[in-house]
Structure formats: structure tokens, C-alpha cells
Amino acid sequence: MNKNKISALSTILLIVCAVLLAASVFLPLWRIELSAPQYPEGLVLQLYPDKIGGDVDAVNGLNHYIGMQTLHAENFVEFTVLPYILAAFAVLILVTAILRSRKMSLISFISFVVFGLISLVDFYRWNYNYGHNLDPTAAIKVPGMAYSPPVLGYKQLLNFGAYSIPDIGGVLLIVAALILAFVVIKEYRAHRIFKKKGAVANILFLPLLAPILFSCVNDRPQTVRLNEDECERCRMTIVDSKFDAQIITDKGRCLKFDDFFCLVNYLEENKDAKVKKSYVSDYSKEDRFLDATKAFYIKGGDVKSPMNGNIAAFETRKEAEEAATQLHAEIISWEDIGF
């Protein structure tokens, strides 16, 4: 076989990749979900290659009050050129598959990674400008407040929670990038690429690892600002670091509670909530959170928590037993709490 030609498997994968890119031209690439008490069903913005979809009018109405510019597709040059860029990549990769060119597969991959990096930078710039360039005559002004949604993940904006995640078209682009990476690694052999290209090759592969790294990092508990943050359930201000708790949702949103009792009741009232991690404060160590499923608990006696849940958590069973004796409390397990 000609060493400059890719294998039959790689050829098929490149054709699949081209089809995914062509399909992405007609599908939403990204979505920003907004949730707030006054919008129980939430609001959604969907970014297509050529337009903005979803609850655009509702979001524009909210933007007017806080001084943000309203969103109109004609104000973005990206919506004019992006469909053609995606179509051009689909054609390039299809031609690569037809010619079975190993060199073109590498060029296609590098070009697509560079395009992805430029797109992320542009999206960040887009979010930053719209969240920071506010009308000084707006009806609602919060000193020092900006409203830029995150590029990826969750961010709290006043009473709105904003999620920024890939939509179906974006998922197809990620899959296409992974296919291209697989083909290049297979055809050039991974050790040859990294040995010859060194740091440059590592940098090019970093964008493919971003979703994995994000999912690993974004499940950690967040710092609680005492006397500022409020409980997700009872809306009371969090005042005692010995009893506060947190939930990290599957989308990376952090829900804070002033009492483990509030966390328990929130989960009972929202049985469809998708929880990635649950954390509870270590009673004996300030500002330290424990995995709620692995902690040891005591209840009652002289344990007095803000919402009368009267449950304290400890890292070890020994610590829990000693505290139970001192505070005249009973030892309970995670299962006893009701999960």
C-alpha cells in the first residue's frame, strides 16, 4: 500500500466526518439556558451557524432593563460567514477522503483545531462585550456588575443561573474533531507526531481534552460567602459554616444551602434533579466540605443548626463518635437520612 495513502477505515471515517460537518450547518451549535424563579420553565438561546433561535424576544426584553444590547443576527458577521466555513470544511474533508491523502488529513485536522480555537476566542469576546458594554441609563443598575454568560459551564447572574453548553450541532463538531484526531493518530502513529512535533502537537490536541477536563474540574464545591450567599431552598442568608451544604448539578451549577436539612428537603421536592455531587460542611473543620455520601453524621442533642435540621457531619467515624458523646447526639448514617 502507498504510504502516502490513508487506510480504508480512515477513508470511511473521514466521509462520516464530512457528513457530520455538513449536518451541523443546519443545526444549533450552542445553547445558553437561563433559569430563575420567575421563569420556572427557563429561557433558552440557541446559536445556529446563521441565526439566533429560542426565546430571543424574552431575553431581549430582559436585556433592555439591565442595559445590555438586544440580540439581532444581522449585527454579527459570524452568522454570515460561519455556514460557508463549515461547508468548506465538509468539502475539504470529503476531498481528503476521496483522494485518500494522508497529508491532507493532517492539514484538515490542524486547520479545524485552529478554527475551533479562534471560534472560542470570538465567542468569549462576544460574551464579554455584551455583558460589559451596558447602557448607563438602564432602569436597573448594579454597581460593578457585569452580565457575561460563561463560554462553557455555569455562572450566576443576579437571580439568573446561566448555562452555556454545546447544542446538537456543537456535539457533531466535537465528534468530527475527535474523528479527525483519530485518523491522524492512526495514520501517522501517535509517537511519531508527538516525537517530531513536540510541544506544538500537544497544544493542538488540548482543545479535544477541554470537555473532559471541564467535567472533572467543575464538580468541586465552591467557596461560601457567609452573610452574603443565600440558601437555594429557604432563601435565608448562610451564616454558619459548620452546617452549610452544596449540590453540584450535572451541568456544573452549584446550589448552596444554609443547613443540611434544606439540602435533604430540596432533593425530596425535586426528585428529577440531576445531581453530580453533594457536599456537606465538616463540623469540626472550618471551610472544609466532605462528600455527603461518605461523611459520618450525628443528630440531635446539643447540635443546633440554622434550620433545626440539627445534623452535623464528620470526616471519620471516630470524630463522629467523640462528638456524639460530647454533644449528647445520636450517630446516623447517610442511609438513615433518606437516600
Tell me the pLDDT tens digit for each residue of 181-195. Answer: 999 988 887 545 545
| Least confident range of 105-109, 151-155, 195-199, 229-233 | 195-199
Percent of the chain with pLDDT over 90: 42
Which candidate, 274, 34, 270, 43, places its Cα nearest to that of 155? 34
Q: Name the strands in the sheet holding 254-257, side by side, starting at the edge strand that comes first in the sequence.
A: 254-257, 245-249, 275-281, 289-291
Per-residue pLDDT at 37 exceeds 60: yes
Note the pLDDT of residue 192. 55
What's the CA dihedral at 277, 280, 282, 288 to 10 degrees? 50
What integer pLDDT is reported at residue 3 of this predicted model? 65
Q: Which residues contact 307 (CB under 8 A, 6 or more apart)?
A: 231, 234, 236, 258, 259, 261, 262
Does position 46 have pLDDT exceeding 90, yes or no? Answer: yes
For Cα atoms 105, 107, 108, give the angle at the middle one, nearest 5 degrees.
65
pLDDT at position 191: 46
Q: What is the pLDDT of residue 288?
A: 87
CB atoms inside a 10 Å sphere around CB 260: 28
Instruction: Kindly report the three-state secondary structure assignment for every residue of 92-126.
Output: HHHHHHHHCEHHHHHHHHHHHHHHHHHHHHHHHHH
Task: Answer whether 279's CB lies under 8 Å from 244's CB.
Answer: no
pLDDT for residue 281 is more than 60: yes
Report the range out of 69-78, 199-208, 316-325 with the highest average pLDDT: 316-325
Q: Strand 52-54 relative to strand 39-47: parallel, antiparallel, unpaired?
A: antiparallel
Does residue 199 carry a pLDDT above 50? no
Give the SS3 label for residue 143: coil
Q: Write down the pLDDT at residue 135.
A: 78
Residue 213's pLDDT is 46
Q: In this model, does residue 169 exceed pLDDT 60?
A: yes
Asked if pLDDT for residue 200 goes beyond 70, the answer is: no
Q: Which residues contact 271 (CB under 8 A, 6 or more apart)?
A: none
Q: How many CB atoms lie within 10 A of CB 155?
A: 18
Q: Residue 96: what pLDDT?
A: 94
For the cut 90, the answer to whether the pLDDT of residue 318 exceeds it is yes
Higher pLDDT, 286 or 249: 249
10 Å Cβ neighbour count for 23?
16
Amino acid code (one letter) for 78: E
Q: What is the pLDDT of residue 195?
A: 52
Model confidence pLDDT, tens digit, residues 67-99: 788 888 888 899 999 999 999 999 999 999 999
pLDDT in tens, 92-116: 999 999 999 999 999 999 999 999 9
Residue-level pLDDT at 227: 85
In this structure, what C-alpha cell is assigned to residue 97? 477522503
User: For residue 219, what is its C-alpha cell?
Assistant: 464538580
pLDDT at 268: 85
pLDDT digits (tens, 9 = 90+) for 324-336: 999 999 999 877 7
Question: CB of 339 within 8 A of CB of 292?
Answer: no
- Structure confidence at residue 206 (pLDDT): 47
Give the other-Cβ count within 10 Å of 111's Cβ: 15
Res 338: pLDDT: 58
Note the helical H segments in the chain. 8-24, 56-66, 78-99, 102-132, 168-188, 190-197, 199-217, 260-269, 317-327, 334-337
Q: Within 13 Å of residue 218, how many CA atoms lie on the same side as its CB?
A: 20
Cβ-contact 20, 26 below 8 angstroms: no
Between 323 and 225, name the one with better pLDDT: 323
Identify the pLDDT of residue 216: 47
